[in-house]
Chains A and B, each alone.
Chain A
Amino acid sequence: MQMERYLSQVAVKEIFPSGQRIIEESSIAVIGMGGTGSSIAEMFVRMGVGKITIVDDDKIEPSNLNRQAMYKEDDIGLKKVDVARTELLRINGETQVNAIDKRLSFNNADEILSQVDLIMDGTDNYDARNVINVVSARLRKPWIFTAVEGTFGYVKTIIPGKTSCLSCFGYPDRGEGVACTIQGVVPTAIRAISSLAVTSAIKFLINRESQGELVYMDVWKPVLDILPIPRNEECKVCGNL
């Protein structure tokens, strides 16, 4: 069943059966199961990723339903990771789904992230991204940064020791940020940024390289810019790698 299931994507020369095999052998972690995280997880599982670890301690709220993948009205009040795990296994029973009902912190990040091949950022605050940035550098784990607000967002592949990290270009390293219900976000921007992030991840898993540019996309204008971010040798997080 598997090859038939993935026929349309293995027909793409950038993936091919050899790339599909890599996807199926990969283990990823998705930190945060909100708008971007749930979309990213669903896409990865549909594409056949071998193992996925999803991490979040939130419950589903009515204000999530306009943009967050997989959650439905009946799920309000339930834990995001529990609902997501069930839905992901319904989408693809071949994928191993590991659901962790916790908020990522410096206390648990090593244990959660040490066994995965790639980390996907689905977080919604500076504190959590700083945990990913610092711990991924220490563990030498590649990760994909995403952030969305209003009609636009960012995506960047970060390979510790090879590309710049978040601290290299002055991205804030602390703070809760502003809730989506206050700052506002267009659901289509979340899906677009999530799609770019998964594409970046698949490219990295198959080709094992990236220049680590910052991709800026605004779905309303629409605009897409790609800006190089050189490594900062004095970066306090990755300068010594």
Chain B
Amino acid sequence: MKVHIKYYAKYADYAGTRMEDIETDIITLRDLLNIVRERHPKLKEDRRSLIAINDKFVGEEAQISDGATVSIFPPVSGG
């Protein structure tokens, strides 16, 4: 199946793109994130990222389906 990945803020710089598609057979978000982090190692710098599937925030145990859009945001502390 195909999953659309959207990278926000500095993650777009880390990935070199704001969006990419990944072909995969895995169904859990956690496994998908492992693939993404191996592909773009600087994403591992944040101990925790904020993740939404189809614009709804979810935990890493969530399941993904064909055609889903996974948005990855950095946590931010400044103000």
Contact = CB atoms under 8 A, between A and B. Distances in A.
A149 B76 contact: yes
Contacts of B78: 35, 124, 147-149, 153, 177-178, 180, 183, 185
Given A227-B55, A227-B57, A230-B56, A171 B8 contact: no
For the residues of B in contact with A, the DSSP-based class is loop
A95 interface: no
Contacts of A164: 57
A177 B78 CA distance: 7
B42 interface: no
A229 interface: yes
Contacts of A218: 8-9
Interface residues of B, number: 20
A228 B55 contact: yes
A160 interface: no
A37 interface: yes
Interface in A97-115: none
A122 B79 contact: yes
Interface of B: 8-10, 47-48, 50-52, 55-57, 59, 71, 73-79
